[in-house]
Amino acid sequence: MENIDLERWYRPKIDKTEFRKLCKKSDWQGFKHMIIFFLSLLISGYLVFATWGSWWCILFLIIYGNIYCSVDAIWHETGHKTAFKSKFWNEFFYQIASYMNNFEPVRWRWSHFKHHTFTSFTKDPFDFEIAITKPTDVIYFFSLFIPLTNIFYLHKSLQFETLKHALGITTDVMKVCIPEKERDKCSNSARIHVVIWIVTAIVSLNFNSWLPLIYIVLPVFYGNTHRVMCGLTQHTGLHDDIKDHRYSTRTVILNPISSFLYWQMEYHIEHHIFPIVPSYNLPKLHELIKDQLPPPKKGFLDEYKEIIPAILKQAKNPEYNIDVKLTKG
């Protein structure tokens, strides 16, 4: 590893005029993504209904669930206020995506701010989005990819955290990330999420049908595979406690469908260095600075050939990190 200035985050060189262009937000880009995403969700959801009771239903449930859970990318982009030029539409879709993603919106707005401020920090300050879930349990790690297995880890789930917040319990993430004056908002929004779960369960019982629960509560249990595959490429196995995103974060070139569902967030080094650039401009940003970054991995297979051995090594030695090679810069 090259010598790193420990007082400042690494910044690549980039033409200021080109950078300003890349920072421009677009309502059209935001609505285009929403229309395609929710239309795909609607069609796959209808196919679940149309094939209910047949084996085909399982296929369409998997498709629907994985599209549904890809709302994570919408939560992320609207949370950064870069999905749309309009503040209203960013906040509108942020609230919807927060529920669908099981991300209580107040908690995750503050913890994600912390995540960008102190990426992969394991000490004080603490990155709750990375450090607290750093995998050392190999069985748990591999279970993340298998539908329904997260039911066995409800005590680690976001649903359990939301329930605690709804009950007024002050969790560690609240103490570290959320200002005291904002904590009541966190608890109140968590209660809204819990009410939606309860009302949906009542509707399912009333109509004697699993479909309401399957459509808006349970996708995170049976459709989380693609989201996990994308999300774990971001930081898994890399360095922590270092002010250089080239060593703590990675970029992967994905196939067009995954790239759409992930909303180009696979360009993750670029995003962490320049978080004000909308995700739909990240491929262009990548082309401008790629000679100053590590070579990107080519697809999931190429990436997990690096991640899986790293996880196995970290399970035995938590201090192990992948040795990142830079091209230049």
pLDDT digit string, tens, across residues 67-89: 999 999 999 999 999 999 999 99
First CA to last CA distance, the chain: 12
Structure confidence at residue 329 as a pLDDT band (50, 70, 90) = very low
Percent of the chain topping pLDDT 90: 77
Q: What is the mean pLDDT of the chain?
A: 91
pLDDT of the residue at 135: 54
Task: Write out the DSSP string of 216-231.
Answer: HTSHHHHS-HHHHHHH
pLDDT of 1 strictly over 60: no
| In the chain, beta strands by DSSP E | 252-253, 297-298
Task: Write out the DSSP string of 293-304.
Answer: SPPPEEHHHHHH
Structure confidence at residue 131 as a pLDDT band (50, 70, 90) = low
Percent of the chain topping pLDDT 70: 95
Across 119-128, 259-268, 309-318, the highest mean pLDDT is recorded for 259-268
pLDDT digit string, tens, across residues 3-20: 555 568 899 999 999 999
Residues in the chain: 329
Spatial separation of the C-alpha atoms in residues 247 and 249, rounded to whole Å: 6
For residue 170, what are its two tokens?
Answer: 């002050």
For residues 279 and 264, the answer to whether their CB atoms sit within 8 Å is yes
- Amino acid in position 247: Y
Spatial separation of the C-alpha atoms in residues 49 and 61, rounded to whole Å: 9
pLDDT digit string, tens, across residues 23-80: 999 999 999 999 999 999 999 999 999 999 999 999 999 999 999 999 999 999 999 9
Query: Helix or strand or coil: residue 253?
Result: strand
Closest by CA position to 74, among listed 133, 32, 19, 22:
32
For the chain, domain boundaries: 30-316
Structure confidence at residue 128 as a pLDDT band (50, 70, 90) = confident
pLDDT digit string, tens, across residues 135-154: 568 888 899 899 999 898 88
pLDDT of the residue at 250: 94
User: Averaged over 157-183, what is the pLDDT?
Assistant: 93
pLDDT digit string, tens, across residues 220-238: 999 999 999 999 999 998 9
Count CB neighbours of 84 within 10 A. Answer: 24
Closest by CA position to 240, among listed 292, 310, 181, 328:
310
| Strands 297-298, 252-253: pairing kind | parallel
pTM of the model: 0.91
